[in-house]
A and B are shown apart, each in its own frame.
Chain A
Amino acid sequence: MVIDLQSIGIQARERWTLATLAGLFNGIGFVFWGPISLVANVPLLLALRHSPSAIETAFLGGLVGLLGGVHIYGIVNYGWFLLVGFSLYTASQMVIYASLFRVLNGTRSAVLDVLLPAGLWTLSEWIRTVGPVCMPASYAGNIADVEMLHPWLSLAALTGGLGVSTLVAAIQGCVLYGLIGTTAQRRAALGIFVVILGLGIVGHAIEPAQPGERINVIGVQGGLANSQYHAAAADPAAMREVIRTYESLTQDAYAESPEFVIWPETAIRAPVLTTPQLRARLFPPDGHSSVLLAGLIETDLKGRRYNVMSAIEAGDKLVARYPKVRLVPGTESHFTPGPEFKPMKTSHGSVGALICLESVYPDAARKSVANGAELLVVASNDAGFGWSPISQHMLNRAIVRAVETRRWLVRVGQAGISTVITPVGEMSVQPLALFTPGLLKAEVERRTERTLFVRWGDWWIGIILVLLVTTAFARRRDSVPD
């Protein structure tokens, strides 16, 4: 059976089928298998070429976003409204993508035609990173755990993950016009594809700057489910067990005298900082060299609660604290946000903490490193995701943060996934399994390199905007939509 790709999407039922397929591809790429992102929107683009109305175009895009968004089902334990909100948010991103494609598609330049999907995806992905209620979702994160694609991921040190997402979306344009383009468009697609391949060589050649001082870190993974914390809040005997778990593991960590002992987010939900008996049992002993980076809940004198990472040194010294800046909408509304992404200065160096969801935001890590962080720590509690693949999804985003900033990144999850990521995005140790108590031991480096992305921020979106404006001016008169 020969399929005429030029005419595919002429019928309405074909367009809706293609949009559904694109939605599932995007969802699979977000959660299950990142490489499918390289072709994820191709079915949608095939459909959009024949969409007769702006309203249908918007609905087709919205369907893609909705289907992609619901694949992040792991967040539903934190509230159905989060899954619905995230899916609608993703749908709105794709409405913008689809609608702009309809408006800008068809230029006098084959190169601009092929690059348009990449420009539009990059713009819509960037929009998801700005504003007070933003939730990033990046193609760069989708491919972060695919080692074969790491040469391209390395480019994130220059452009941020956004630039890597552009390349992924550019492949979609190459595939689209490779399938249905005119001779000129096919030639352009091939040329762009070759350039993308060449960029992989560039990425491979980008080496992190000189290594810094090597230090030892130990992450403490309690491996508890959220239900244990609920039981601990209700029953003092259960709280004792949570404390005993973290005490036992932490004391084992101190015995090895690492520079840092790192807890996950809200490891112990008791007033540790204001309880002398707990401090005596949990904090570094007098004269000990380790610094404890403790995920805790802090209440200030005015009764405001903060989700914090506290840096504690021997002698009961609280030397620094980082209150979570980006709180999860709804679920963390009882916390007060911190003022800025500022690293914690300790005797073993400056540590940039990212608490849980913050690792998804490019600006969080970038600003922390710009403010002096030599090492990144992600303290997380992904227990609510259960055994869903969303924990891996979150880890992938952290990989992009490490590469963007060329920092070693220690991810410590309360229930997992705990691991250490190198500045080139590789895992340097075997991760601890989900819901398994244990210690994550690794050697990392303190680094002071400031990548182009750290220095210039989202400069890449400026290039994309120039591309899109150029595309708008280069549109063919006969491409005006209905």
Chain B
Amino acid sequence: MIGLWVIMLIWISFVVYRASVELRNNQVVRGLFRDYHPPYKRADGWVIDPSQRNLAEELGRRLGNRSLKPAPNNATPEAWLAWLRQEGIDARLHSGTAPQSPHLRFTKGALAPELWIGRYGVDFIVFVDRVGVMQRSALSKPTTVIELLGLQVTPW
């Protein structure tokens, strides 16, 4: 009986281990056009579509997979505004309450702005440089907002 219990406990452990691996859904899925990395949780929310893209690459993707010049590093909002206009993206500094349309939001201490994409229920959907698309329940107050007038991406 003891031997049988040892075998059974080994099997149970194996199944539990297997379940923990298989259900973690942390494998990369090789899609038709890109790889999809599994979502994960951060302190500030869920990264629902992880990617290593920087903000310029992400903006290019949302503008119909355009290739944009490298964006300014650690730049001021004014430098970003100039870059956007150079790339032919209609943008303007926004004052007042943040718009409910795509915009760049600059926050204190952040190296790069975030791209505000939209709302999902009560949550906010933002793109974070070299992190990916995030779902957050709250956003910190931005210091500056640049409204992106030409970036309303429709789902089809």
Residues on A facing B (Cβ under 8 Å): 13-14, 17, 20-21, 24, 27-28, 71, 73-74, 76-77, 222-228, 230-241, 243-245, 248-249, 270, 275, 277-278, 281, 386-388, 435-437
- Whether B8 lies near A236 (C-beta < 8 A) is no
The answer to whether B153 and A234 have CB atoms under 8 Å apart is no
CB-CB under 8 A from A230, the residues of chain B are: 39, 48
Chain B residues near A222 (CB, 8 Å)? 32
- CB pair B1–A14 under 8 Å, yes or no, is yes
Q: Is the beta-carbon distance between B156 and A278 smaller than 8 angstroms?
A: yes
B18 CB to closest chain A CB, in angstroms?
8
Q: Taking A21-B8, A73-B15, A73-B19 as contacts, is the C-beta distance between A236 and B155 under 8 angstroms?
A: yes
A74 touches B32 (CB 8 A): no
Tell me, rounded to whole Å, the shortest Cβ–Cβ distance linking A32 to chain B. Answer: 8
Smallest CB separation, A2 vs chain B (Å): 15
Q: Which A-B residue pairs are the 7 nearest by beta carbons?
A: A239-B155, A234-B120, A236-B155, A231-B49, A388-B22, A73-B19, A437-B32
**Contact at B5–A224, with CB atoms within 8 Å?**
no
Contact between chains at A249 and B154 (CB < 8 Å): no
Does A227 contact B31, Cβ atoms closer than 8 Å? no
* Min CB gap B4→A, angstroms: 6
Q: Establish whether residues B23 and A386, one from each chain, have CB atoms under 8 Å apart when the complex forms.
A: yes
Complex: A232 Cα to B48 Cα, angstroms: 10
Q: What would be 19 A-B contacts, judged by CB atoms less than 8 Å apart?
A: A14-B1, A24-B11, A73-B15, A225-B25, A228-B29, A228-B31, A230-B39, A235-B49, A236-B117, A237-B133, A238-B133, A240-B156, A241-B34, A244-B32, A245-B33, A270-B155, A275-B156, A278-B156, A435-B27
Closest to A11 in B: B1
List the A side residues contacting B8 at CB < 8 Å: 20-21, 24
Nearest CB to that of B26 among chain A residues? A386
| Nearest-neighbor residue (CB-CB) of A244 within chain B | B33
Closest to A272 in B: B156
**In the complex, chain A residues whose CB is within 8 Å of the CB of B39:** 227, 230-231
Asked whether B36 lies within 8 Å of A227 as measured between CB atoms, the reply is yes
**Beta-carbon contact of B156 and A243 below 8 Å:** yes
* With A230-B48, A237-B117 already in contact, 8 other A-B pairs whose C-beta atoms are closer than 8 Å: A21-B8, A24-B8, A24-B12, A230-B39, A234-B48, A234-B118, A241-B33, A243-B155
Candidates B4, B24, B32; contact of A249 at CB < 8 Å: B32
Indicate which residue in B11, B29, B156 contacts A225 across the interface (CB closer than 8 Å): B29
Complex: A241 Cα to B36 Cα, angstroms: 11
| Cβ contact within 8 Å between A248 and B156 | no
- Report the bound CA distance from A14 to B33 in whole Å: 57
B63 to A: closest C-beta gap in Å: 10
CA A241 – CA B33 in complex, angstroms?
Answer: 8
Q: How many residues of B contact A (CB 8 A)?
A: 39
B153 touches A77 (CB 8 A): no
Within 8 Å by CB of B120, from A71, A76, A233, A243, lies A233
Contacts of A270 in B (CB 8 A): 155-156
Q: Any chain A CB within 8 A of the CB of B146?
A: no
Question: Could you say which residues of chain B place their CB within 8 Å of the CB of A278?
Answer: 156
CB-nearest residue of chain A to B133: A235
A445 to B39, CA, bound (A): 42
A260 to B42, CA, bound (A): 44
Does B61 sit within 8 A of A, measured CB to CB? yes
Whole-angstrom CA separation of A228 from B108 in the bound complex: 31
Q: Which chain B residues (58-75) contact chain A, with CB distance < 8 Å?
A: 61-62
CB distance from B24 to the nearest CB of A (A): 8
- Digitize B69-89: 1 where CB-to-A-CB distance is under 8 Å, 0 elsewhere: 000000000000000000000
A233 to B22, CA, bound (A): 25
Closest Cβ–Cβ distance, residue B79 to chain A (whole Å)? 25
Least distance between A164 CB and chain B CB atoms (Å): 26
Partner of B31, one of A13, A224, A233: A224
**How distant is the Cα of A28 from the Cα of B15 in the complex, in angstroms?**
10
In the complex the two chains form, is A387's CB within 8 Å of B27's CB?
A: yes
Taken together as a complex, chains A and B put the C-alpha atoms of A281 and B155 apart, in Å, by 14
For residue B31, which residues in chain A have a CB less than 8 angstroms away from its CB? 223-224, 228, 241, 245, 437
Those of B119-133 within 8 Å (CB) of chain A: 120, 123, 125, 133
Q: Are the C-beta atoms of B5 and A235 separated by less than 8 Å?
A: no
Assess whether B41 is interfacial by the CB under 8 Å rule. no
Asked whether, in the complex, the Cβ of B36 is within 8 Å of the Cβ of A21, the reply is no
Q: Contact: B25 with A386, CB < 8 Å?
A: yes
- Nearest opposing residue in chain B for A17, CB measure: B1
Interface residues in B94-140 by Cβ distance below 8 A to A read 117-118, 120, 123, 125, 133, 135
With contacts A71-B15, A388-B22 taken as known, whether A234 is within 8 angstroms of B30 at the C-beta atoms is: no
Query: Within the complex, which residue of B5, B18, B32, B118 is in contact with A248, where a contact is CB–CB below 8 Å?
Result: B32
Whether A245 contacts B22 by the Cβ 8 Å rule is: no
Smallest Cβ distance from A231 to chain B, in angstroms?
Answer: 4
The reply to whether A224 and B36 contact each other, CB–CB distance below 8 Å, is: yes
Query: Once the chains are docked, how many angstroms separate the CA of A277 from the CA of B155?
Result: 11
